[in-house]
């Protein structure tokens, strides 16, 4: 009855299904959740950063794993093509700071709904609350899938093409629970070890309890692994009960996770005053002190330099009580304050689990997938798209583009 079965109605699956149907094929899209695009609807804090408008060469540099593999799908359907696609199907877009692209409405639902409409307009049949349990093959070729429907009955559906777009294991509440890895492994594919990426980082800093809810803007951060500088970032850094968050921490997390898995020593050194060198910062501190009353407390000086939530942690780091008179601050303590403002150290001891990770690192080994078609090298008629593949990128719209590009290429069903 169907030419193509697509498993998973996320960004990659919706794009793949609609693309396959454009060529006149009969397409069945199977989704185990009650609606399509569950993860799309929450991405970008509910706004959906669907791609990034950077030039192609800059875009590819933001892909952390298997750049060369992904570059083919990106060349076929790049960020500019994605922008045109959504505008053609009625979604007005805005390009914001950092070349990040969002729907003009600010609503991620508009992206998800537009993709569903695209599929339905092309004739795709979408079934919900239906869980694929196995991919069926014969003599090295796909023959269909077995599934359990919404009423709990086991069924099978034949098709000569199956596209696996089940996502990874990040945000499992949206339906991404690693099913695709089991499907791929069951037909002989190797799965690169999966771990969280773009995830909050857990620190052992002794004053971390004071920092919950703090958001730092325009700070610098350096990642050290075994005391070796590995990465530098600039931007926002936030703190929550989950750990250290914000764009800076998420971009650093990819290397942090691997380092912690390997039991290496990790720390992030935060520059709270990146626009000032140490000499200029010391002069500012001395100027602030000169303008203060001798009876004012050290905390008042810190309030002139940092957000309120950092006052107590900084006072403890300098080892100078926040309610001690500022006039008693010694030259050595001033210098120590400068050093801490320019390099507050946060030891990293763990990372947040998959339920808080934006994407999954690891997945189906790309060396076993044809990068020009997204077809399995092991099973004819089996294709992969999106996060199920071992491809991940920085935050900023890049991972959504990976889903769209690989989904588009898979949906073309090239041999």
pLDDT in tens, 14-30: 999 999 999 999 999 99
> If you average pLDDT over residues 298-326, what whole number do you get?
91
Q: Is the pLDDT of residue 294 over 90?
A: no
User: What pLDDT was estimated at residue 320?
Assistant: 86
User: What pLDDT was estimated at residue 149?
Assistant: 93
Distance CA 389, CA 360 (A): 9
User: What pLDDT was estimated at residue 319?
Assistant: 87
Q: Write the CA distances from 34 to 38, 338, 367, integer angstroms.
A: 9, 55, 34
Rg over CA atoms, the chain: 25
- Rounded to the nearest 5 percent, the helix, strand and coil shares of the chain are 40, 25, 35
**Which parts of 204-276 fold into alpha helices (H)?**
246-261
Categorize the per-residue pLDDT at 1 as very low, low, confident or very high, splitting at 50, 70 and 90: confident
User: What pLDDT was estimated at residue 321?
Assistant: 85
φ, ψ for residue 124, nearest 5 deg: -70, 135
Contact by Cβ (8 Å): 382, 135? yes
Same fold for the domain at 4-195+358-411 and the one at 200-352?
no
Contact by Cβ (8 Å): 397, 78? no
Q: Is the pLDDT of residue 175 over 90?
A: no
Domain spans of the chain? 4-195+358-411, 200-352
Contact by Cβ (8 Å): 9, 164? no
Contact by Cβ (8 Å): 7, 131? no
> If you average pLDDT over residues 202-206, what whole number do you get?
95
Q: Write the CA distances from 28 to 7, 43, 130, 321, 374, integer angstroms.
A: 9, 25, 12, 67, 19
pTM for the full model? 0.92
Distance CA 12, CA 175 (A): 14
CATH classification of 200-352, choosing from 3.30.360.10, 2.70.70.10, 1.10.8.50, 3.40.50.10490? 1.10.8.50
pLDDT in tens, 65-124: 999 999 999 999 999 999 999 999 999 999 999 999 999 999 999 999 999 999 999 999
> If you average pLDDT over residues 273-302, what whole number do you get?
94
Q: Is the pLDDT of residue 45 over 90?
A: no
Output the average pLDDT for the chain.
96
User: What pLDDT was estimated at residue 415?
Assistant: 81
Chain centroid offset of residue 186 CA: 27
> If you average pLDDT over residues 59-66, what whole number do you get?
96
Categorize the per-residue pLDDT at 174 as very low, low, confident or very high, splitting at 50, 70 and 90: confident
Q: Is the pLDDT of residue 252 over 90?
A: yes
Categorize the per-residue pLDDT at 363 as very low, low, confident or very high, splitting at 50, 70 and 90: very high
Q: Which residues on neighbouring strands pair with residue 303, listed in sequence order?
A: none
Given CATH 3.50.50.60, say whether it is the number of domain 4-195+358-411: yes
């Amino acid at each position: 009855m169907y030419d193509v079965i697509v498993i998973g109605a996320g960004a990659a699956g919706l794009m793949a299904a609609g693309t396959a149907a454009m060529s006149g094929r009969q397409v069945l899209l199977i989704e185990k959740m009650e609606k399509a695009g569950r993860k799309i609807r929450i991405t970008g804090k509910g706004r959906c950063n669907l791609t990034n408008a950077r030039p192609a060469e800059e875009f590819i540099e933001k892909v952390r794993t298997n750049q060369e593999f992904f570059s083919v799908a990106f060349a076929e359907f790049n960020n500019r093509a994605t922008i045109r696609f959504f505008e053609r199907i009625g979604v007005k877009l805005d390009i914001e700071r950092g070349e990040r692209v969002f729907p003009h409405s600010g609503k991620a639902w508009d992206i998800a709904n537009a993709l569903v409409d695209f599929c339905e307009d092309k004739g795709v049949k979408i079934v919900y609350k239906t869980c694929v349990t196995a991919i069926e093959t014969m003599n090295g070729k796909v023959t269909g899938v077995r599934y359990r429907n919404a009423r709990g009955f086991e069924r099978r559906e034949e098709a000569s093409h199956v596209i696996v777009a089940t996502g990874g294991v990040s945000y499992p509440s949206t339906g991404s629970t690693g099913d695709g890895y089991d499907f791929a492994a069951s037909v002989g594919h190797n799965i690169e070890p999966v771990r969280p990426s773009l995830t909050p980082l857990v620190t052992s800093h002794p004053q971390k309890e004071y920092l919950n809810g703090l958001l730092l803007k325009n700070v610098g951060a350096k990642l050290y692994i075994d005391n070796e500088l590995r990465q530098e970032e600039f931007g926002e850094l936030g703190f929550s009960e989950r750990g250290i968050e914000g764009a800076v921490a998420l971009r650093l997390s990819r290397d942090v996770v691997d380092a912690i898995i390997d039991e290496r020593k990790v720390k992030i050194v935060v520059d709270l005053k990146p626009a000032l060198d140490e000499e200029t910062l010391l002069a500012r501190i001395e100027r602030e002190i000169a303008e203060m009353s001798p009876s004012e407390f050290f905390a008042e000086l810190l309030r002139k330099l940092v957000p309120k939530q950092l006052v107590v942690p900084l006072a403890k780091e300098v080892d100078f009580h926040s309610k001690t008179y500022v006039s008693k601050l010694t030259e050595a303590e001033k210098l120590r304050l400068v050093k801490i403002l320019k390099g507050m150290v946060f030891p990293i001891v763990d990372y947040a689990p998959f339920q808080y990770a934006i994407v999954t690192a690891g997945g189906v080994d790309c060396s076993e997938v044809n990068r020009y078609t997204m077809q399995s090298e092991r099973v004819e008629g089996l294709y992969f798209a999106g996060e199920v593949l071992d491809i991940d990128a920085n935050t900023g719209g890049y991972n959504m583009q990976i889903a769209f590009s690989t989904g588009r290429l898979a949906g073309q069903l090239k041999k």
